Structure 1
Amino acid sequence: MSESTASALPVTFRPARTRIVLLTVGVAMFVVITTVGMMLEKLGPGERASFVFTAALFLGVLVLLSRPKVVADAQGVTVVNITRTRRLAWAEILKVNLRPGDPWVFLDLSDGTSMPALGIQPGIAKESAIRDARALRALADSHGSGSETS
């Protein structure tokens, strides 16, 4: 990582293509299910409301699935996964791993645990995920006590 890129903090890593797909499908499903519920003539108001509620539930789940991101700044990293957010100091991150076959990046932490960082995932955009994992690894190496690994 170049010095100019390393100094360009804060930086946010997130699976943009996956996020676009999830949100687009969620909105489309909401519109279709709600429209079908309103067009069915034999449904009462409660049944129509249940269609809208079900559509909103599906949309809510897809919004949660599109939430993951990793935000790196001068003080450390904020990992936002599906339902949890955790703030890490640079010194807590020992290794940034994205091995072949991994569904997302794993952070090896100084307390002996490993934490998934779903904000960098090779699903739809493998090259982008590899580039982002390398950038996060370089930031961890330059800001913390981490060492470079595969």
Structure 2
Amino acid sequence: MTTPAPAAGLPALPVTFRPTRTRVVLLGTGFALLGVLTVMSFMLQTLTTGDRITFICTGLLGLAVLALLSRPKVVATEDGVTVTNLTTTRHLAWAQIVRVNLRSGDSWVHLDLSDGTSLPAMGIQTGIAKQQAIADARALRSLVDAHGTGRSET
């Protein structure tokens, strides 16, 4: 079965939306924290082996938390949309998404679903790159309009 060409103005599927700059900052900070704590643990001569292990484990814990914070993404495929937030992943069929919202003051996109609930999609967030988030939200709205039965509002 051949995949139809994307309509004009629509991104080609599959497409992944994620806050790339935020991810780079978080992971860079996490690795820097781990590096600094590891180097400090070996440079301080008065530390015992247990103290050194504690320093390194603290760096690893910091890296793990920052890696968790860098996890969110939204992946749109022919089958639907997969929303990965901090600790959860949810796959939605196109028809389940009624509306894509990114209102002024929102930290990230919210998807209004056909069952009456709203799902935050933290993969499109306004943090560091607000204009990119707006462009990504518009692209996802266009995809929902083209593939689903939803309606989108600003």
Q: Is 1:140 the equivalent of 2:144?
A: yes
The 4+ residue runs of structure 1 with deviation greater than 6 A are none
Match for 2:150: what amino acid? G
Distance of 1:71 and 1:4 partners within structure 2: 20
The letter for the 2-side match of 1:117 is: A
SS of alignment partner, residue 88 of structure 1: strand
> Which of 92, 98, 104 is equivalent to 2:96?
92
**Corresponding residue number in structure 2 for 1:110:** 114
For 1:59, the equivalent position in structure 2 comes to 63
Q: Does 1:68 align with 2:67?
A: no
Equivalent position amino acid for 2:20 in 1: A
Cα deviation, residue 4, structure 1? 4.3
Give the unaligned 5+ runs of structure 2: 1-5
Are residue 124 (structure 1) and residue 125 (structure 2) matched?
Answer: no
Secondary structure of 1:3's aligned partner:
coil
What's the Cα RMSD here?
1.1
1:39-67 CA-partner distances (Å, limit 9, x unpaired): 11111111100100000000000000001
Task: Please name the residue that 1:81 is paired with.
Answer: 85
Determine the structure 2 residue equivalent to 1:10.
14
Find the residue that maps to 1:50 and give its secondary structure: helix
Aligned length: 149
| Aligned equivalent of 2:3 | none
Distance across 1 between alignment mates of 2:106 and 2:34: 32
- Cα distance change, pair 43–33 in 1 and its aligned pair in 2 (3 A): same
Percent identical: 60
Give the TM-score taking structure 2 as reference length: 0.94
The answer as to whether partners of 2:145 and 2:152 remain within 8 angstroms in 1 is yes
2:53 matches 1:49: yes
1 CA distance for matches of 2:11 and 2:127?
A: 28
Distance 1:21 1:47 in 2: 28
User: Residue 37 of structure 2: which of 33, 38, 63 is its match?
Assistant: 33
Q: Residue 65 of structure 2: SS of its match in structure 1? A: helix
Q: Secondary structure at the match of 1:120?
A: strand
State TM-score, norm by structure 1.
0.96
**1:143 Cα deviation (Å)?**
0.5
